[in-house]
Amino acid sequence: MIAPLRLRLRRVLPSSLILDLEDRIKADALHAHEVVRDGFDGLTPLRARAIEGQARFRVCEQGFEEVCAEHGGHLLEGGVIPKTDLRVHQPFMRFEHEGQGVILALASMPESGKLPAKNKSRLAGVTVNYELSLRLAFDGKGPKISDIFVTLLVARDRERAGKIAEIAVGVIESNYEGFLYYETVDSFLLGDGDVEPDAPAPTPIAPPTVDQPKVTLKKGVKPFVPPEAPAAKSEEGDAQG
């Protein structure tokens, strides 16, 4: 299930969209930190962090909506999940490619790989993923894929104020108990780059060439006869006698 799901997400959510969202979210997070730091001087660190958290999400949420719209995303019509009467109160942006749809939402996660907090909008969104969840196929047809609800997950950096620790693409189970799919943006953008290319065919080895002899015999060479050898006639006579 993971491989076809990942392939579909990459087809519907182009790398240019993900890159622009990543850049915008990081810039907006830093901007929110600077606004709170410069505009609320004197607040205790705890109160400053609380205000910064709210400001960061709202600023990033607006940037998310604007970037998605620039890349062809559309707010859900009437703020209602397709084929349901469930209403959402956050900017859920729908993308479609060759009849395949993805509903993309922004969410903050407490730390890398952790589910974002439940709210009415996200609980409505994950109902779309029911047919992706593992379940018994009593009708014999198995899981189906229509629209997919996907979250762009953002975790702040706890060590560096105004920084983002991780941004990931996640598909949450319909029961909101875990991820059906989770991948960091860096890995998502690599695409199939982690697949090793086929090994090149070995270069055929040419058969060894036979060296021509460097010394050739002279044609018609007479055999060497030592001087003391008897004449040919004497040899014949002795043999007959």
| Residue ranges of domains in the chain | 2-190
Least confident of 28-32, 96-100, 210-214, 235-239: 235-239
Average pLDDT, the chain: 80
Q: Is the pTM of this model over 0.75?
A: no
pLDDT digits (tens, 9 = 90+) for 9-58: 999 999 999 999 999 999 999 999 999 888 888 888 889 889 988 999 99
Residue 150 binned pLDDT confidence (cut-offs 50, 70, 90): very high
pLDDT at 5 over 70: yes
Residue 140 binned pLDDT confidence (cut-offs 50, 70, 90): very low
- Comparing 145 with 35, the larger pLDDT belongs to 35
What pLDDT is attached to residue 211?
Answer: 52
What pLDDT is attached to residue 98?
Answer: 87
Residue 83: partners with Cβ closer than 8 Å, 6 or more residues away: 146
Residue 141: partners with Cβ closer than 8 Å, 6 or more residues away: none
Element (H, E) at 123: helix 120-126
pLDDT digits (tens, 9 = 90+) for 179-208: 999 999 999 998 744 433 333 444 444 444
What pLDDT is attached to residue 241?
Answer: 41
Q: What own/partner pairs with CB < 8 Å and gap ≥ 24 does 210-214 have?
A: none
> What is the distance between the alpha carbons of residues 94 and 96, in angstroms, rounded to a whole number?
7
CB 64 within 8 A of CB 21: yes
